[in-house]
Structure 1
Amino acid sequence: MPDFHFTLPHWLYWVGLIVFPLIAMSLGRRPRSGESRYSIPLAYMILVTGGILGLHRFYLKSLLGLIFVPIFLFVLYANGQSTDARTIVSNISNELKIAERTLSREKPRLEEARTELEELRAQLPTVEAGSFAERRVERGIKRAEDSIPKSEQRIAEAEETVNRIGSSLEEAQASRSFWASAAGYAFYVIVALMLIDAVLIPGMVRRANDNIVEERKTEAEIALEAAEAEEGPKADADHVENWIDRLSLTCGEFVAYWAVIAVFVYYFEVISRYVFGSPTNWAHESMYLMFGMQYLIAGAYAMLTESHVRVDIFYAPMSRPRKAWADLLTSIFFFIFAGTLLVTSYIFAMDALAVPTGNSVVSEWARGNLGFFEMLGSLTFGQWTDPNVRWGEISFNEWEVPLWPMKWVMVIGGLLLVLQGVSKLSKDIRAIARGY
């Protein structure tokens, strides 16, 4: 398989979290025609993102997409066999290295012990009987006689290991090379099929659109849809009564599209890991941080649309004024929580900028070494582009993504929650005053 190593740049991560939802929101608000048709741009997007599984052909209702599935499964199987063979090669290589180190260590020791034994045996008749020198020579002879058989045994075992696993290592290396090549060739077949389909997609889309049969709804289906529209839950826009509600709704819609980013990132991680054998060091952490920020930003949206968990056994039967009184009383606890979240998240965000390793003027301001306006005047283009300038706290893994933006998103989430609480409070007071 070809090598495939890609590390997501930090700037692309943060820009993607901003730009992708904006594009998605603009596309989602476009007027739609009543007729549903297949799209060439969408077909190409599916080809790029899921073409390795033939999803673009399934989208266009072509059963020839089934050709991609067994080839892809063979790639996974071959990669699995290659991984197993690599493990075997690694184990055998380690065992061989240990045996070779044993030989390189024990052979000189054996020669040294034999030479020392001959010298001591020759020296023994020349020393005085019963003297300390005689006892020292005898101990040396005994030590050499004991060490020689042990060294000979270690050398014999190491030589036997080298002879035994030499052929096994060659077989494992050949197996690994075979499966790696097989996976590579199968992958190249998929790439070739994708390139062919890239040329054929416009014609495939035209044929798919020509085969569309207009589906007519029965009167019963039309009546059912009308009833669901009349009795169903309120739409999100129906909850909006002021600019705070509109802000919460927009922010909730914005971060909702982050879930789509997660689909692409985890798909990329699976393909990188199991097809190319190159797991990333950033996919899990990037999505972990993203979902944490999504949870915080979406809090105000959940409060606006009343989609959070609540025990309704007593609350649901109440009239609107009674519900307003209940919400008014419980809002005390809400503002304690939301205020604490806002204050503590602000402290966390400032601490993230003020870590001792930060050397940006913003970090100096966060540590109290610069005034706010002095910090603004000291910002230069190099502060944004110089890779040696470190902006506050970073993660501890190899990706080393800055964490201070996430801490400031916590502040934004807390602020949105407080504002939505104020909006809810004003609605409750108005409901009590009006009596409905």
Structure 2
Amino acid sequence: MPGLSFTLPHWLYWVGLIVFPIVAMVLSRRPQPKERRYTLALAYMIAVTGGIIGLHRFYLKNLLGIVYLPIFLFVLYANGQTHDARTVLSNHANQIRVAERVLEREVGRVEDARAGLSDLEARVTAAEAGSFAQKSAEKRLQRAQDTIEKGEARLIEARQTMEQVTPLRDAAAATRAFWQNAAAYAFYAILILLAVDLVLLPGLVARANAALPPHEEISEAEQALLAAEAADRPKQDHEYAENWIDRLSLFCGEYVAYWAVIAVFVYYYEVIARYVFGSPTNWAHEAMYLMFGMQYLISGSYAMMTESHVRVDIFYAPLSRPKKAWVDLLTSIFFFIFAGTLLVTSWIFAMDAIAVPSGNAVISAWARDEIGFGQMIASLNAGQWTDPNVRWGEISFNEWEVPLWPMKWVMVMGGVLLVLQGVSKLSKDIREIARGN
């Protein structure tokens, strides 16, 4: 079975986090077609991402996609058998390695002990009876005899292990090779089917669209019902925005919301790489939990603006709007204490992250007060961004070694957005109190 050795480059990780939400926001704002139709672009995307289980066929409501499922399940089963055989093979190979080391070590010891046995016996005979020399020679002779006896026992056991385990190891190796080849052939069969489908996909999409029922305009009664439902709908997010701070929080919240879609693709890749190719990644989990941490920080102001935070408002809910504003105004003291502490602390964390002694960028030197701000700006060049030998401050302890300083600076951004949204909320409360309605 072929393996995957792909490791997500750091630059691609950051480009994806920046570019993907922009593309998604543009696509989401496109006018929706009145008539539901299958699209070739979406069909190809599904084929590339989920074609190994026939999702592109199911998207087009083509039941021939079922052909992919038993083959894919066989690949999973064969990989499971390969994993079990690999474990058995590893255990047997371990036993053989231990036996080989015993043979290598004990053969020399036993031969050396036997070679010196006659000399030790002669010393015991030549020594004066009852003397210290005789007792010392007898001890050395006894040690040599014990070495021979124990060494021979170990050699017999090691040879028995070699005789018994070697056939088991060979059988496990053959089993592993069989299931590994079976999984590979099944996977190649899926690739052949998928390649054929990629060629046939335009025709499949055309036939699926031709099979759709004709579009029917909804009646006036249905339009009135939809309008009534729209009037009763909850307040939309954009209706909360009253100033530029609200619009900034709204934009940031929507922007990082699309990161959840990235997680779907990344974890899908991780599952396929782990269970189909037997190549688990060393970056997927770390990349996603760092991404979700940044998402949580950035979306804090959005959640505050749309009042999405979890809260118990048994006493707050029945109050009139001016009284709610008074309560919010008084409790904002605690909010600004929290938000200010978050901002200051995150600034310290962010500066410390780029100031670690192992950082060799000019920005790291500036953060450690080794050079001034003007000198740092003057020293910046393309090499500071592209040279792999230049490292900016703190990195993760994982093999992926992603820089952690951008996450720390996102904490600063989250703190700034939260403080700004607090200022916006404070101004709204003051205006509400002034109205007195």
* Alpha-carbon distance, 1:315 to partner: 1.4
Amino acid at match of 2:239: D
In 2, the alpha carbon distance for the partners of 1:216 and 1:208 equals 21
* Alpha-carbon distance, 1:395 to partner: 0.4
In 2, the alpha carbon distance for the partners of 1:57 and 1:347 equals 53
Alignment of 1:25-424 (within 5 A): 25-213=25-213, 214=215, 222=223, 224-424=225-425
Aligned partner of residue 76 in structure 1, secondary structure = helix
Amino acid at match of 1:135: K
Is the CA contact (8 Å cut-off) linking 2:38 and 2:60 kept in structure 1? yes
Is the CA contact (8 Å cut-off) linking 2:360 and 2:392 kept in structure 1? yes
Amino acid at match of 1:113: A
Query: 5+ unaligned residues in a row in structure 1: which ranges?
Result: none
What per-residue deviation string (whole Å, max 9, x for no partner) do you get for residues 127-167 of structure 1?
22332222222112222222222111111111110000111
Aligned partner of residue 116 in structure 2, secondary structure = helix
In 2, the alpha carbon distance for the partners of 1:273 and 1:335 equals 46
In 2, the alpha carbon distance for the partners of 1:179 and 1:170 equals 14
Using the aligned pairs only, state the percent identity.
68
TM-score normalized by structure 1? 0.97
Amino acid at match of 1:56: H
* Alpha-carbon distance, 1:355 to partner: 0.5
Amino acid at match of 2:305: L
Amino acid at match of 2:164: R
In 2, the alpha carbon distance for the partners of 1:398 and 1:135 equals 60
What per-residue deviation string (whole Å, max 9, x for no partner) do you get for residues 338-359 of structure 1?
1111111111001001001111
Distance 1:228 1:315, change over 3 A: farther
Amino acid at match of 1:153: A
Alignment of 1:11-30 (within 5 A): 11-30=11-30
Amino acid at match of 1:237: H
* Alpha-carbon distance, 1:120 to partner: 1.6
- Number of residues of Structure 1 aligned to a counterpart in Structure 2: 436
* Alpha-carbon distance, 1:215 to partner: 6.0
What per-residue deviation string (whole Å, max 9, x for no partner) do you get for residues 221-276 of structure 1?
65553333111210111111111111000000000000000000000000111111
Amino acid at match of 1:46: I
Amino acid at match of 1:238: E
What per-residue deviation string (whole Å, max 9, x for no partner) do you get for residues 40-75 of structure 1?
001000111111111111111111111111111111
In 2, the alpha carbon distance for the partners of 1:223 and 1:70 equals 48
* Alpha-carbon distance, 1:119 to partner: 1.7
In 2, the alpha carbon distance for the partners of 1:148 and 1:366 equals 68
Aligned partner of residue 350 in structure 1, secondary structure = helix
Between 1:141-150 and 1:335-344, the stretch displaced more is 141-150
Query: 5+ unaligned residues in a row in structure 2: which ranges?
Result: none
C-alpha RMSD of matched pairs (Å): 1.4
Amino acid at match of 1:109: R
Amino acid at match of 1:97: R
* Alpha-carbon distance, 1:220 to partner: 7.2
In 1, the alpha carbon distance for the partners of 2:125 and 2:405 equals 81
Between 1:20-29 and 1:316-325, the stretch displaced more is 316-325
In 1, the alpha carbon distance for the partners of 2:156 and 2:101 equals 13
In 1, the alpha carbon distance for the partners of 2:395 and 2:216 equals 55
In 2, the alpha carbon distance for the partners of 1:65 and 1:378 equals 58
In 2, the alpha carbon distance for the partners of 1:216 and 1:173 equals 66
Amino acid at match of 2:253: G
Distance 1:116 1:216, change over 3 A: farther
Is residue 2:407 matched to residue 1:427?
no
In 1, the alpha carbon distance for the partners of 2:284 and 2:234 equals 36
In 2, the alpha carbon distance for the partners of 1:209 and 1:256 equals 32
Is the CA contact (8 Å cut-off) linking 2:123 and 2:134 kept in structure 1? no
In 2, the alpha carbon distance for the partners of 1:135 and 1:347 equals 75
In 1, the alpha carbon distance for the partners of 2:13 and 2:59 equals 29
In 1, the alpha carbon distance for the partners of 2:64 and 2:243 equals 53
Between 1:364-373 and 1:325-334, the stretch displaced more is 364-373
Between 1:353-362 and 1:142-151, the stretch displaced more is 142-151
Amino acid at match of 1:69: L
Distance 1:216 1:175, change over 3 A: farther
What per-residue deviation string (whole Å, max 9, x for no partner) do you get for residues 347-388 of structure 1?
100100100111111011111122222211110111111111
Between 1:217-226 and 1:252-261, the stretch displaced more is 217-226
Is residue 2:10 matched to residue 1:10?
yes
In 1, the alpha carbon distance for the partners of 2:185 and 2:248 equals 52
Between 1:220-229 and 1:340-349, the stretch displaced more is 220-229
Amino acid at match of 1:267: Y
